[in-house]
Amino acid sequence: MPEDAEVVETAAEAAENVIFSRCDNSAVTDFDVTVTFEDGILEVDVYLNVDDPTVDEGRVADDAALAARSAVDDLFDD
């Protein structure tokens, strides 16, 4: 069973990887990935502000949150 800190770190890293794989680093003006894991419940919130009109910030943020959850699922499957 992974430690809570490992769960949080895994989720945050996965979310950031999605953000920076889809957005040019210089275009990301602000982002926040908030992950909590308490009593077996994972909560992931992603905020993203990108100075690029071709980027759908909402879609990238949603995909980042989904990737975070998936990474944690994989962590527990191992």
Report the alpha-carbon angle 2-64-68, nearest 5: 10
Structural domain total, the chain: 1
Q: What is the pLDDT of residue 28?
A: 97
User: What pTM does this model have?
Assistant: 0.93
Contact call for residues 4 and 37 (beta carbons, < 8 A): yes
Residue 48's H or E segment, with its range, is strand 41-50
Whether 78 shows a pLDDT value over 80: the answer reads no
CATH number reported for the structural domain that contains residue 64 in this entry: 3.30.300.100
pLDDT tens, 17-47? Answer: 999 999 999 999 999 999 999 999 999 999 9
Q: What is the pLDDT of residue 46?
A: 98
Residue 33, CA distances (Å) to 29, 36, 52, 77, 78 in order:
14, 10, 20, 23, 24
Contact call for residues 60 and 22 (beta carbons, < 8 A): yes
Residue numbers of the domain that contains 36:
4-77
